[in-house]
Each structure stands twice: as structure tokens, then as C-alpha cells.
Structure 1
Amino acid sequence: MSRVPYPTELSWGDVDPASHPFDPDAVAQVVHSLGPARRVPSRTDPDIDLTRVNWAHEVAKPWSDAMTYALVEHYGQWAAGWRWSNGEGDVDGGPVGSWCCGSHSITTPQQTLGRVVAALCEWRDWLERLVEWFEAYPLNPETLAADRILWESAARNVILHVADWTGAESGWYGHCQQVLGWFLTYWGVAPETAENLVRQAVGGRFKSWTAPDTVLAADIAERLVGPLRPEDTRWFPESGELPDHLERWLVVRESVPWPEDEGSADNGPVAPARDGAVEEFRFFDAAVDAARAAGLLAALELVRADAARGATLDFELIRGWQQHILGTPEPPSLRTHPAFAKGGAERYGIGPDTRARLDACLAQATDGRLSLAARAARAHLDVCFFHPFDDGNARAALLTLLFVLARESVTLDSVLLIRRFSHRADDPQDALGLCGSVKFHIEQSRGALAQPVVQWSSSG
């Protein structure tokens, strides 16, 4: 499956309760059956030296991330919001009160899993309440001109409901803007258009720890609805097949101002005391599934051996790694049908020249005119959006990035920012954002002090 989305990235299609069946009576059984439930971390674990390990960042957060991954695999993308807590929790400004953050919410296994169950049910209840609020004002794009006041009233009430439910605490406005986008999408506005309309209407006027008064809410609602014209297909497009996001990526790829190699004296091998990829696989992936972690570790060993022997980066090389990732008897073949990701929001086409085009893109990872971070990030995104396999593409993309780094003897002490965020095929800023994350991790790894490696057991 693709990378788990950050809650702020969830679209209405991802979370719409009508599209995602849910049985609240079965949640406890499901949560207790998941891999992370068998490995709830403890501050009393003798293998963890709390004087030298940041428990919240290096233990609690990876476990919470692993639980999110497992919930999303079982329920779908919408479940990623289960820990979107009020105020300054794991994710600021959400509607969930049953979970704060790993530091405070992870205690005994029984209490911790109970909080996961309660938080997931609370998040689902919130989504169902949103539908009720949306439906409280039945809207129709065809009669928008006559019912504009009704649209504005509905939007205003959505703002006030979100402010009330989140307590208007730290970062609440981010979710409020997201919900306004969901509201417009629910009633037929194109998702990207809805996002832009919300951004323009709000204009930075929401603030943390400050609930909007009715005057501000009404003004934002008026600005939100004002540009809409029912006859304009920019707002209300006819339904049809998704565009080919692989083709969009190839256009964006050429427009991104990729950072150039500055010939810095800081270039050169990086060998931190802690191997971030190994730790990630041994804890995060092992918490999801022990076989998954073993496959990734075997693939990583092959990646580094291939880098050391100067192997050419192409589809044939990657499919050799993918055999270990998926645990298949033979290396997997190139997919033969269009692929979908991000809950169906992106579609990647397939053609007779797809493999050749992928190989041509990957060959550019040796372009010394660009910085190492840029080359690694671009190769990662190439694999993401060519989406060459039927499964495991996000893992293949990460290994591709690590291969590009390994060819220049660079090891990262963390892959957190690289792995936890998804990226859109048609947004140049997302590409630059990943590039910045890779650069940050390289610099952090280069300057990291020697730290002990925490050894995690895949058997718990």
C-alpha cells in the first residue's frame, strides 16, 4: 500500500463515512489483533536506556506511527486521523480528546490500547457528525444563485462547529480550513478548487487559541461562496476519469528548480553511529509485521551491496530489491494496468514505453550538476509516480533514495521526515519539500554525535 497520509492531507473522498463501512462494536477486537498491539512499548523496558534515548521521539512516536499504519491497512485512509488530538498533541488542532500524544497516552498495554479504541471511535463519530451538519443545509449547485445565503449560512455554521469541537486550541484553524474544503467537495466543488477557495477566503485570519466570532465566520463564509458560479465548470466539473498523474509528474519534474551541487566542503561520506533505516525497519515495520521488517532489512542489505559495486539504477535493479520486500519467489514484473494511490485521488497510467521512461529518469540520478539531496529526492518521486509494482511502491521508493545516497557513502541517522509524509504528483512545492527533508537529514546525520543504537526485537 502507499504511504500513510498525514491527517491534514486527507481528502473528503478519503474520509467520507458513506464510502467506508465501520462497526464500532468490533473496534476493540480489531485493535488488539494488530501487530503493534503485541508490542506496546514501556518505559521500564530494560533494553531501553532512558538516559540516552529520547523515549517520546524514538520509541513512543514510532509505535504510534506503526499503529496508524496498521489501522489504515485495516480500515482505509480515513483511520489516519485517530490521533488528531485537541491542542498540542501528536497532531495539533484536531477534534479527538481520547488521545494526546505518545508521551502521555502510552502507559500500560491495556490502557494504551483502550485509548486507541476510544480515539478511533471518536474520530469516526466526528466524521459522521460532519455529514449531519453538511446535510442540515441541503444544497444544490444548480440553484446556487438563488440559494447563496443558504450556502453562506451552512459554511458559517461549519466554521463555528469546528471551532467549538476543537476548543479553538493550538492549530485548530488548519482542520477548520480542511473541513470547509470537505464541505464544498461534498456539494460538488472540485477538490483542488475547494482548497484554493478556502485559502483565499480565510486569508490567515484564523488564530490559535482564538475562536472566531460570528462576524468573522460570516465574512469568511461570504468570501468562500462568493466566487462560485454554478454554470462555471471550474467549480462544478463533470465527473470523468482521473487525469494521468504520471504524465503530470513528468511535466512537473522538468519545472522544479532542483537545487544544484554547490561543491561544498561538507560533501563526502556520512557514517553516523545510528543507522536510521535499520532502526526504522526493526521497530516501525516490525510493529506492523515481523516478516515485513525482515524483508526490508534483507532488501536494504542488497541495496547497499549494489551501491558498493557500482550497479546501474534501473527497473531491473529495483525489482531485485522488491522480491525481498514482497517476499515473492521471483522478482515482480512491471504492472500491466493503471495504478491508483492516495485513496484513489491519483491515477498512474501505463504504456508500452513506461519501463523505458522510468529507466531514463532513474539514469539522471547520477547527474552531478544537482545536489545529492535533489538527486535522491527526485529518484524517490520517480518510483512513487511511475508506481512500477502492484504493491510495495512506497518501500521501493525509499530504498531507491537510500541507494542514491549509498553510492556516495552517505547513511542517514533518521528517515522520519522522508517516510512519514506523502507527496502529490502535480505539485512542485511537494517535490522541493522532500528535497529539503533529505537535505536536513543528511546535514543532521553529518553533525550527529555518537549515540548508542537501540536494538529492537522483531518478536517483541
Structure 2
Amino acid sequence: MSRVPYPFRLAWEDVDPAGHPFDPDRVAQVVHTVGPARRVPSRTDPDLDLTRVNWAWDVAGPWADAMTYVLVQHYGPWISGWRWSRGEGDIDGGPVGNWCCASHSITTEQETLDRVVAAVREWREWLERLAARFEAYPLDPEDLASDPVLWERTAHHLILQVADFTGAESGWYGHCEQVLGWFLTYWGVAPERAAQLVDRAVGGRFKSWTAPDAALVEDIAQRLVGPLRPADARRHREPARTPDEDEAAELPDHLERWLATRDSVPWPEHQDTADNGPVAPARDGAVQEFRAFDAAVDTARAAGLLAALELVRADAARGATLDFELIRSWQRHVLATPGAPPMRTHPAFAKGGAERYGIGPDTRARLDACLAQADDGRLSLAARAARAHLDVCFFHPFDDGNARAALLTLLFVLAREGVTLESVVLIRRFSHRADDPRDALGLCSSVEHHIGWSRAAHAK
């Protein structure tokens, strides 16, 4: 599961202010009391050797990720856009001006935290501005055939507004396309249909560092609305649901979806990859990640992960069997519990209540059967590690800490083959869908990339 949600993946229901209460007067208190606020990094830290450490990559970036992580835990995924700065910042092409990038915006402790607060407020104000703009043009799908002009005018104004607030700088068009999609879904167009309409209307014609001219804006607005029909939208927009209402809503079992997807994925086979023996780069990516990102969240959290990682590698060295019992022995350190935590006994929810993982009398046995397939030498090492990682993600065996358990499982599968990764960034930074084979293959590619990267570093 993703440690840090990326705002360009957010749907309107994820960010709609109507469904996510926020008090701008309390945000400073929240920011100043979370874990990362007590550990703002400094270039003048005597324990930091900048001749051996990349400040932006190894220190500043993980701290900003940690701040995003704890804010998301408090407010929800919508807040992840606080770092979506204009131009080539932490996240390319956003509307936020109070934060540039971790390497430049992290200065003194007070200045840094003040920037975080200002950026959070700015992002929220932008979302509220968009919601007001959407509502200012109440649209009726029945008017599409006879009078589409109001829909076109709305799209026209939104394009200009996004270009203005992003400065039409690097990558601005990504957020512009997202906002157009948000607008259509706000008025009842299905997300898949909205994405299709936006993609066809824009057609790659927006450019970085270039504000769209009037003719282009007009043409895109017309192309966006032209194919719309009343059947594409609901007559009345459904009000935003609260998190409690989302949880109460009927959800499919995403564990069952994963198991169906798992069998359909064309997992890369061993002979098609370059698995070439042990890898021991000078830099231990997992250790670095826990000391940078997790320690910024909470020092006890990092200590638990480091202790668990030591046990993971010892278990790999002795040839331990990968099953739930082994994972729960690591999870004792991850969660700092007196004993190994048990398997959950109730359905679990994740991603803000958007995914549900069922439970049954055979869930543990099914998990063990899946984990046993990590020994299948017909598949590439990256495929076996990625699949085991996703098994733990979607079986969601514990009441807490499943993402960390999944990462440790992946590291165990690699460690049995003598492979240590120089970095785990691509593995740990993105969330995964239970029902998308391409997503599973994407994780395989990330693991394969990290193995190759680590092998190249080891060879130097």
C-alpha cells in the first residue's frame, strides 16, 4: 500500500470539501504536534555527512513524505496535495505556491512548519474554490442536446483558472485535465467516461510553460462537451458521503478480487529475466528508508522496523518457510506488541474505507497457500517478491501495520536469494489495485528495476 498518496491520482470524491471537514484555524496546531514536526532536518546537523548523503533524496524528501503521511492519517488523502507546487517542485504542475520542494522549502524548523501550514491552507482553499466554481454553474444533462453552451463556457473558465493558478508552468496540464474530469464527475458523468472525454478533447495539445491561447481553449471546451449526452450524467448529483457513510456502504470483497486477478496476471518467468545471483550494494535501501522516512514519522516505529528487518534477514539465512506464522513473528516488532499479533477476525477496510477485505474460516490457510508459491522457481525473483507483497496487502492479515508487513515479506523473498536493494522508493511510494493485472505487473517492474539498480551499484 502507498505510504504517500499522490494528488494526481485523486478522484473528486477524494477531495470534495463537502465530504471532508476542515478547520483552517486548527491546522497549525496539528502540523506542530505531529511526529515530523519534532524532527525537521537541518543541513547543519553535525551527524549528517553531506559528502556521502544526498540531501534532497535521502533526507529532505523522506521528511516531506513523512509529513504527508501523518497529515493523511489525520485528515484523509485529500490533503496530500499540499506539496503540489507550481513548476518543477516536489510534484510537478500544481497550484500551490507556498511550498516549492523539500530541498529548498526545508530551512529552519519554524519557517518549514509555517510553510507546511500555509501550503495546506492554500491547497484546501483551491479545492473549495473549485467546488464553488462547479456549483456556480448548475448544469442539467437534459440541456446537452439543445443548449450545450453553458457546459462549454464552464469548461472554458476552468481551463483558464487552472492555467492561472498553476502559472501554466511545467506539467500544469496534468492538473488541468484532472480538474475537467472532476467537473464532469461532479455533475454525474461516470469517472471512466469523464476520463475518456477529457483525453479525447485535450489530445496532448497542452504544453508545459505555455498558457493555452483562446482558440485552443475554445476548441477543447467544445470537444469535451460535444460528445456528451443526457444519458452520460445523472439528473441529480448525489451529495458527498461522509467517511462513516462510505464505510457503511456495500463494498465488494477486494480480497476475492485480488485472488481472481492474481490468477490472471502473466507473471514474468525466470528465463525471461536477468536474475544473476546475490546482490549486496554498499547502501542498504531498506535501512536507509526506515531511518529517514519512518524515523521522521516516529522513532519507535523506525526502531521496530529495523528490529523486524534484522529478524527477516536472519530467517531468510536459515531458510525459514514463509507463512503467516513467520510474518507475525516480525509483526511483533513492527507493532511493539508483547506477543506475536493474531490474525484479524473481522472484515478489514483500507484506503479510507474504499476497499474491504473479507474474512472466513479458511482465510489463513489460503494466505499460507499463496505465500508458499513464493518458492516457485519458474517465476522471476521480482515476480515472486511482488506477488508475495501483494498477497499480504490484500489478505490484510493484521489489524494494523499491513503495509509494513507486506514490505518485509518482499524483502524476505529477496533475501533468500541473497539480494539486498539499494533503494525501496518505487516499491513503497505507490498504492496498488486489487483488480488490475497491469498494476501487479507494474510492481514487478519496480522490483526488477530496483534489483537491476542495486546490481549495478554493487558492481561499481
Same fold (TM over 0.5): yes
Structure 2 spans left out of the alignment, 5+ residues: 242-248
Deviations 1:209-247 (A, max 9, x none): 122233323333333334444436899999973333323
Residue 373 of structure 2 aligns with which residue? 364
Residue 312 of structure 1 aligns with which residue? 321
Q: Is the partner of 1:347 in helix, strand or coil?
A: strand
Residue 204 of structure 1 aligns with which residue? 204
In the alignment, is the contact (CA less than 8 A) between 1:228 and 1:235 conserved in 2? no
Counterpart Cα distance in 2 of 1:385 and 1:222: 42
Deviations 1:239-292 (A, max 9, x none): 973333323322322332222213767611111122111121122111111121
In the alignment, is the contact (CA less than 8 A) between 1:155 and 1:180 conserved in 2? yes
Counterpart Cα distance in 2 of 1:385 and 1:314: 15
Residue 293 of structure 1 aligns with which residue? 302
Supply the AA of the counterpart residue of 1:418. I
Residue 31 of structure 1 aligns with which residue? 31
Residue 108 of structure 2 aligns with which residue? 108
Q: Offset at 1:138?
A: 1.0
Q: Offset at 1:179?
A: 1.5
TM (norm. structure 2) is: 0.91
Residue 13 of structure 2 aligns with which residue? 13
Cα–Cα, structure 1 residues 242 and 370, in superposed 2: closer, same or farther, change >3 Å?
same
Q: Offset at 1:373?
A: 0.9
Counterpart Cα distance in 2 of 1:322 and 1:267: 31
Supply the AA of the counterpart residue of 1:212. P
Higher mean displacement: 224-233 or 26-35: 224-233
Q: Is the partner of 1:418 in helix, strand or coil?
A: helix
Is residue 273 from structure 1 mapped to residue 285 from structure 2 by the alignment? no
Higher mean displacement: 105-114 or 227-236: 227-236
Residue 231 of structure 1 aligns with which residue? 231
In the alignment, is the contact (CA less than 8 A) between 1:334 and 1:389 conserved in 2? yes
Is residue 330 from structure 1 mapped to residue 334 from structure 2 by the alignment? no
Supply the AA of the counterpart residue of 1:389. F
Is residue 178 from structure 1 mapped to residue 187 from structure 2 by the alignment? no
Residue 261 of structure 2 aligns with which residue? 252
Sequence identity, in percent?
A: 80
Measured on the aligned residues, the alpha-carbon RMSD in Å equals 2.5
Supply the AA of the counterpart residue of 2:76. G
Matches within 5 A, 1:54-93: 54-93=54-93
Cα–Cα, structure 1 residues 233 and 372, in superposed 2: closer, same or farther, change >3 Å?
farther
Matches within 5 A, 1:96-245: 96-141=96-141, 144-146=144-146, 148-231=148-231, 241-245=250-254
Counterpart Cα distance in 2 of 1:442 and 1:195: 34
Higher mean displacement: 239-248 or 395-404: 239-248
Counterpart Cα distance in 2 of 1:268 and 1:49: 32
Deviations 1:308-345 (A, max 9, x none): 22222222222222222122233333333333322333
In the alignment, is the contact (CA less than 8 A) between 1:159 and 1:176 conserved in 2? yes
Residue 438 of structure 1 aligns with which residue? 447
Superposed structure 1 runs of 4+ greater than 6 Å apart: 233-240
Counterpart Cα distance in 2 of 1:235 and 1:356: 47
In the alignment, is the contact (CA less than 8 A) between 2:2 and 2:428 conserved in 1? no
Residue 246 of structure 2 aligns with which residue? none
Is residue 348 from structure 1 mapped to residue 357 from structure 2 by the alignment? yes
Q: Offset at 1:124?
A: 0.8
Deviations 1:105-133 (A, max 9, x none): 11111111111111111111111111011
Aligned residues: 451
